[in-house]
């Protein structure tokens, strides 16, 4: 009798969940996700994808406002870390190490110049990876929040870096007289002051062109994952429409 009652209760529990699919994980509980880092956020998105790709419909409200903001903040932190990394390493490599220490040319210049962007490239690659999971309402919402936070901070920092370096290399601000005065204040040795002065004068014409490349690369890293997610989704939708037309005999 007890066994019969247990079976009836189990059947009732299963039948009450119309969205459950055998062998598919089922989310129970709130949606207060607060990813600690970008990998953690991607891992949680993968869990959403596994469930929704199996046909289990999850209401978009399951990812609460706090959960959505959590993914957005993670995107902000990711983009902020990348821009800080670039901000400090970019001038050191581009305007000191490459021209004066390594004297790199050709491929060497490209490889050395890519060092400040390593973190940006890695995180952008991970965002490209997560764009393939762009399916279902819950997964889309999480990915959009993550991507928007990252794109928002990268766009702002790209603009700020361009403005800052453009102002620093402006002929009025970086006039020969001011550069020489700065060299004398920073260095007591007259010979070192002259070396500093001629070094600054040598790199000034290249500051704006190199900064433009830096800003563009940040903007591409901000929006290319969005574009890849959109294109993959459109390709998926067209394939679905073709399959439906084939089944309908059109």
Instruction: Spell 168-201 as b/e; 16+ CB within 10 A means b.
Output: ebeeeebeeeebbeebeeeeeeeeebeebbebbe
Q: In this model, does residue 14 exceed pLDDT 60?
A: no
Report yes or no on 186 lying in a domain.
no
Contact 116, 86 (CB under 8 A): yes
Host domain of residue 58: 35-161+202-248
Q: What's the whole-number average pLDDT of the chain?
A: 80
Tell me: the pLDDT tens digits for 82-100? 888 888 888 888 887 877 7
Cα of first residue to Cα of last residue in the chain, in angstroms, is: 55
Q: Residue 140: inside a domain, yes or no?
A: yes
Assess if residue 195 is contained within a domain: no
Domain presence at residue 8: no
Q: Is residue 244 assigned to a domain?
A: yes
- The per-residue pLDDT for range 145-174, each reduced to its tens digit, is 999 999 999 999 999 999 998 888 888 888
94 belongs to a structural domain: yes
Residue 232 lies in a domain: yes
pLDDT value at 72 more than 90: yes
Number of domain units in the chain = 1
Q: In this structure, is residue 20 part of a structural domain?
A: no
């Amino acid at each position: 009798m007890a066994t019969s009652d247990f079976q009836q209760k189990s059947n009732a529990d299963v039948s009450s969940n119309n969205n459950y699919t055998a062998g598919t994980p089922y989310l129970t509980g709130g949606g207060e996700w607060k990813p600690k880092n970008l990998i953690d956020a991607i891992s949680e998105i993968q869990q959403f994808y596994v469930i929704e790709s199996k046909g289990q419909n999850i209401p978009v409200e399951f990812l609460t406002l706090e959960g959505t903001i959590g993914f957005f903040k993670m995107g902000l932190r990711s983009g902020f870390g990348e821009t800080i990394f670039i901000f400090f390493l970019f001038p050191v490599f581009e305007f000191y190490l490459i021209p004066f220490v390594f004297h790199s040319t050709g491929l060497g210049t490209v490889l050395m110049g890519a060092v400040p962007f390593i973190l940006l490239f890695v995180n952008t690659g991970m965002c490209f990876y997560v764009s393939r999971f762009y399916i279902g309402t819950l997964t889309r919402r999480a990915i959009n929040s993550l991507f928007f936070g990252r794109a928002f901070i990268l766009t702002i920092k790209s603009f700020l870096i361009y403005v800052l370096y453009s102002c620093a290399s402006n002929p009025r601000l970086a006039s020969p007289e001011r550069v020489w005065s700065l060299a004398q204040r920073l260095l007591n040795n007259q010979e070192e002051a002259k070396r500093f002065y001629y070094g600054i004068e040598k790199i000034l014409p290249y500051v704006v062109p190199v900064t433009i490349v830096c800003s563009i690369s940040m903007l591409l890293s901000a929006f290319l994952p969005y574009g890849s997610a959109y294109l993959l989704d459109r390709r998926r939708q067209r394939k679905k429409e073709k399959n439906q037309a084939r089944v309908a005999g059109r």
